[in-house]
Amino acid sequence: MTDTRKEGPPDLAALAEMGLEMAAETMRRRGQLHPSQVYAVDGDQNLYVIDFKIEQSQVMKDISALALRKFLQERKVDRYVLVTEVWWKEVSVKAEQDRQAIVDRIMERGVSEEPDRMEAIVAVGQDRQGTIEIICPILRTEDGKFNGLGPAVDMGPDEGFSEGRFANMLPRNALQ
């Protein structure tokens, strides 16, 4: 991990790495990552680390997103990473109609209802250069205890983060 005391506040990739390392430590201690965490750096290079509870209802998720957006705006944050626990399903069906059927079912019921879903930690963030989205599977022992994070998968800037209530949280004029 980058030692921010010697080098100054981390860039976006280092901020995501820091968040994933802190998430793994939280998982080791508590068995889950709750609340979610936000890592943010403002224009004066101050680092903020925030426990951030994301409620389950859609309305409360919207309110949480608005509250986070307001915090980032008021603090004049120029980069941030949100780290949270998610359900994840890899859809790698070759036939387009089968893939669409799976996507439609997920959109109707949610990934949490899929029998072959996986738990993961995701770090999503934004800075002046773009976005970052990294997902790490959660590894568990046979009795369900946390056993580390699997290999990080960089989803790239165009693999899904560009949309959603927690995407593009920074105001456009702050990024120019």
- pLDDT tens, residue by residue, 38-63: 999 998 999 999 888 877 778 888 88
Q: Which residue in the block uniquely carries the two structure tokens 């430590």? A: 25
Domain boundaries in the chain?
4-86+118-170
Q: What is the pLDDT of residues 138-158, one digit of tens each?
A: 999 999 899 999 999 888 765
At 80, the amino acid letter reads Y
pLDDT for 40: 94
| Beta carbons of 65 and 76 less than 8 angstroms apart | no
User: pTM for this one?
Assistant: 0.80
pLDDT for 175: 45
CB-based burial label for 115 (10 Å; 0-12, 13-18, 19+): exposed
pLDDT for 163: 64
Residue 115 has what DSSP assignment? T
Enumerate residue ranges in the chain where pLDDT < 70.
1-7, 92-97, 157-163, 172-176
Read off the tokens for 116: 């072959």
67 alpha-carbon distance from chain centroid: 17
Residue 68 has what DSSP assignment? H
Residue 49 C-beta-side C-alpha neighbours within 13 Å? 9
